[in-house]
Amino acid sequence: MSTPNGTGEDGTDLDRSTVVYDLDSQCGVEDVETGNKYHATVNGVVEYGVFVDISEQLSGLVHSSNLIGTYDVGEELIVELDAVREDGDISFVEVQVAEYETEPVGPGTRAATVDFEEIAGEQAHLDGQAVQIKQTGGPTIFQVRTPNRVVPCAAFEEAGVRAYPGVELDDYVRVTGTVEQRDGAYQLEVDNLSVLSGEAAEQVEDELTSSDAIGAADVEPLVEWPAFEKLRDDLSAVATRLRETVLSGRPIRIRHHADGDGLCASVPLQYALERFIEQTWEDPEAPRHLLKRLPSKAPYYELEDVTRDLNFALENRNRHGQKLPLFLMLDNGSTEEDTPAYENLAHYDVPILVVDHHHPDPDAVQQFAEHHVNPYLHDEDYRITTGMMCVETARMIDPDVTDELRHVPAVAGIADRSEGEAMDEYLELAAEEGYETPDLRDIGEALDYATYWLRYNDGREYINDLLNVNCDDRDRHERVVNLLSERAARDVDNQLDAAMQHVTEEDLDNGARLFRIDVENHARRFTYPAPGKTTGKIHDRKVAETGDPVITIGFGPDFAVLRSDGVRLDIPEMVAELKEDVEGAGVSGGGHLVVGSIKFVSGMREEVIEALVEKMAEAEIDEELGSSAVTPEEA
């Protein structure tokens, strides 16, 4: 701490060694405090004592009665500020300090520690880190990170010309200037900006890295759930990293699975992060510039997506002086299929965080992701949904969002068919907020339906209304959810009306019943529900009708969607075998153990599906094993 106002009146602060302040020559009376100690230089010797300077503007008398030694002009001593009289006269007392630390003090109020509004128009200074340097047509804007907020500092060299070209991104700096308002935000009009080094830089670094503003809030989970406890540290680390990312001026790009759980994960985090940015950045545009949420088209992070994301990020760096973003993958990102995209990001030194509950390929992911949170890494499974994890993470970022999120884990759980032990408690929590189970199901279906029609637009406001997060009208929320969930149900009914009678059935050797549906020829195309969801709905009906182990295959010209209940499948393994067994079929795909999808060249469909069915007929029956939560849907 370099503030001269922060320490005790005397040297009794046991935790800290004595501090002697070394004032900048420009310091005025607003920078000093009675009882603090200062380095002083004798500027005149008189009969009754010596006059000393502690800055160009601050001189005063050390009366001979308060002098310990004898001094000539130019000699240095340490004095304690005794009093500042109303007429401006200052008196000092010489002190002797065996051991002390010198702290430099810039002129003016320390800007980081007071409310800007109080010191508008005044001189101020701050120490911090230059986390963004943007050259505008006019001044150069340095966004300077202090322990708990990021302050724009405008330095004008010449219009459009980089001021202080020696200052580089992430340098530790000392800024002196005047507090001014501009376009609604306070900023420091820079008089001087210098790079700190050595001890001074380390001190600032210490202040920033030890700031309370970084650490995740220590909130109690919404429900007690031993399985979830294993993940808390991981999530807390993610929350800390995200808060630190905001303060470090790095934008955050959220990419999430375009389904109910993906939205229950990403929307709360978006909300909490926006609030945190508002609290810490003076620039009112910062939430818009630093945060972007986008659903991914595929269930994994495709090269198409990453290519565009990267190009967008590179343009923002060039045009707005932004750092390249941190990528936060939610409800996807855990599989080997994500790694080509990650590798691309890695070449740009872009950090990646993954929070997911899909079956992971930890080795592939962990060489790229800074954090990889996944229940499977702790011997848990998909039943801890990403939405459940991210609601807690959002609360660690801003505990004040809690009241708006109590129903969200239940929505996520129902949307992803979680049978986690905590579901009952989550449902109860939601019920306390007035959401009964059918309401939660409707929200999930409405989110799914809206996502389909938004076609990978983020649909920010509309989605907030549907999930009732950051939404100001619960009544409207309910009406819109009712409308969309009814439409979704009607469209599913229409689809199954056409499709069900074209479903064929056969009995496999292992006793499972296999249903097939040609979703290209016997379902409506290019409308809701898409082939994957259509297959899932048919499967659900067949499971309900038969009560037997059931496998359902929905196939198109070059793909098939697989669902199973009560059969011990290992779809990723099957796909790997088919690649070998069926030559010239271009087989790819995967998914979870008992639910997945597969692609092939259309001319080899018959061969691939027959080989697949053969394998299925060999699988063990397992009455206890349910279908996995996540239905991959492809058109």
Of 20, 173, 585, 593, which lies in the binding site for its own copies, with binding defined by CB under 8 A? 585
C-alpha distances in Å from residue 105, one per residue of 33, 154, 339: 12, 21, 49
- According to the binding rule CB under 8 A, does residue 520 interact with its own copies? yes
Of 16, 308, 320, 474, which lies in the binding site for its own copies, with binding defined by CB under 8 A? 308
C-alpha closest to that of 488 among 446, 425, 541, 534: 446
- According to the binding rule CB under 8 A, does residue 494 interact with its own copies? yes
CB of 172 or CB of 281, closer to its own copies: 281
Of 25, 64, 311, 504, which lies in the binding site for its own copies, with binding defined by CB under 8 A? 311
CB of 604 or CB of 621, closer to its own copies: 604
Q: Which stretch binds its own copies (CB under 8 A): 188-196, 310-318, 417-425, 432-440?
A: 310-318
Q: How far is the CB of 184 from its own copies (least distance, A)?
A: 3
Q: Which stretch binds its own copies (CB under 8 A): 103-111, 289-297, 309-317, 426-434?
A: 309-317
Residue linked to tokens 């005794």: 82
Of 367, 521, 573, 620, which lies in the binding site for its own copies, with binding defined by CB under 8 A? 521
What is the footprint of its own copies within residues 539-568 (CB under 8 A)? 558
- According to the binding rule CB under 8 A, does residue 347 interact with its own copies? yes
Residues 402 and 418: their CA atoms lie apart, in Å, by 22
Of 10, 56, 205, 461, which lies in the binding site for its own copies, with binding defined by CB under 8 A? 461
CB of 181 or CB of 209, closer to its own copies: 181
Cis peptide before 375 (omega within 30 of 0): no
Judged by DSSP in three states, 300 sits in coil
CA angle 196, 201, 202 (to 5 degrees): 170
Of 209, 307, 367, 504, which lies in the binding site for its own copies, with binding defined by CB under 8 A? 307
Of 479, 489, 493, 504, which lies in the binding site for its own copies, with binding defined by CB under 8 A? 479
H/E/C letters for each residue in 127-155?
A: EEEEEEEEECCCCEEEEEECCCCEEEEEE
Q: Which stretch binds its own copies (CB under 8 A): 237-245, 273-281, 430-438, 582-590?
A: 582-590
Residues 555 and 560: their CA atoms lie apart, in Å, by 4
Residues 167 and 41: their CA atoms lie apart, in Å, by 32
- According to the binding rule CB under 8 A, does residue 114 interact with its own copies? no
DSSP per position, 599-633 = E--GGGHHHHHHHHHHHHHHSEE-TTPPPPS----
Q: What is the largest CA-CA distance in the chain?
A: 115
C-alpha distances in Å from residue 493, one per residue of 10, 517, 529: 80, 16, 10
What is the footprint of its own copies within residues 264-303 (CB under 8 A)? 284-285, 303
- According to the binding rule CB under 8 A, does residue 603 interact with its own copies? yes
- According to the binding rule CB under 8 A, does residue 457 interact with its own copies? yes
CB of 99 or CB of 183, closer to its own copies: 183
What is the footprint of its own copies within residues 152-171 (CB under 8 A)? 158-160
Residues 365 and 516: their CA atoms lie apart, in Å, by 35
Of 25, 34, 43, 602, which lies in the binding site for its own copies, with binding defined by CB under 8 A? 602
CB of 240 or CB of 494, closer to its own copies: 494
- According to the binding rule CB under 8 A, does residue 501 interact with its own copies? yes
User: Which stretch of DSSP H or E encloses residue 109?
Assistant: strand 109-110
Is 399 exposed, middle or buried (CB count within 10 Å of its CB: 0-12, 13-18, 19+)? middle
Q: How far is CA 7 from the centre of its chain?
A: 36
Q: Which stretch binds its own copies (CB under 8 A): 263-271, 336-344, 385-393, 418-426?
A: 336-344
What is the footprint of its own copies within residues 185-204 (CB under 8 A)? 185-186
Of 525, 614, 620, 623, which lies in the binding site for its own copies, with binding defined by CB under 8 A? 525
- According to the binding rule CB under 8 A, does residue 497 interact with its own copies? yes
- According to the binding rule CB under 8 A, does residue 455 interact with its own copies? yes
What is the footprint of its own copies within residues 212-251 (CB under 8 A)? none
Q: How many CB atoms lie within 10 A of CB 623?
A: 10
